[in-house]
Amino acid sequence: MIDVRPSPIAGRWYEGNAKVLSRSVDEYLENAKLPELEGEVVGVIAPHAGHIYSGAVAGYAFAALRGQTPDLVAVVSPMHHPYHEPLITTSHDAYRTPLGDVPVDKVALNELDVILKSELGFGLSPVSRDPEHSLEIELPFLQRALGSDWKLLPVMVRALDPHVSQGLGRALAQVLRDKKFALVASTDLSHFNNQNTALKYDRFMLEQIEAFDPDAAFDAERAGKGFACGLGAVTSVLWAARGLGADHVKVLRHATSGDVTGDYSSVVGYGAAAILKTKE
């Protein structure tokens, strides 16, 4: 018997019925009209609200990965809950969604932990039955978009520190370098501003992301010019992608919760982007 993390959010944050979930995720993927992407997609940035709010935007991110056949998918998300450890992973052997169990690559996790201890002086803290939604919410998209059996490398970032993000990025690059991989950064953008303010903040943060500049993304939040609740996750993935040869980022879609609910007085921003490596 393997130790499976039961989903705390299926049926609430996304559809709990496998057939309905498959159909809704496939619709989000089909409805994404991607621009021409120059190069190989090595990673994506995707939002993590409930599917009814951000699924249409997430569809753009995962449509960019559709049909890829990685062996290992690193999903890096924030940890919204009050754990004290800077970098967290699951202690379970697999994540459960209505679409089936996603096995965790314990060998890759151990390798990452060893490198992090060398890079940063601390490693990954495993936790059981965590309530975090921002990592799990991406899994049904990956289950429907990818064309292979793959294992998960899950990391939840509590630290908001450029040094930690860069160290995690370097470590991820070392673990992934010789593997068939995909990278996923999970983040939403600004929270609970009116639509016009949200558009201003989100545009500025997305500009830093599209400039492939993780330091500038941290600077944007420090200066109060742009916000991302998964800033530590996004910047880590940008650093990792740089180390793996990626050379540009393309923002694919932006919307807010107001575009779904019709209430523009207090919205959450959602962005999707592809991280690309120009083909030689």
Q: Dump pLDDT digits (tens) for 35-81.
A: 999 999 999 999 999 999 999 999 999 999 999 999 999 999 999 99
Angle at 126 between CA 125 and CA 131, to 5 degrees: 110
Q: Is 96 exposed, middle or buried (0-12, 13-18, 19+ CB in 10 A)?
A: middle
Q: Dump pLDDT digits (tens) for 161-170.
A: 999 999 999 9
Q: Dump pLDDT digits (tens) for 171-184.
A: 999 999 999 999 99
Look up the pTM and report it.
0.97
State which residues form the domain around 107: 4-277
- Cβ-based neighbours of 280, under 8 Å, separated by 6 or more: none
Q: How many domains does the chain have?
A: 1
Report the alpha-carbon distance of residue 111 to residue 105 in Å, rounded.
10
What are the tokens at 217? 């993304």
CATH no. for residue 90? Answer: 3.40.830.10
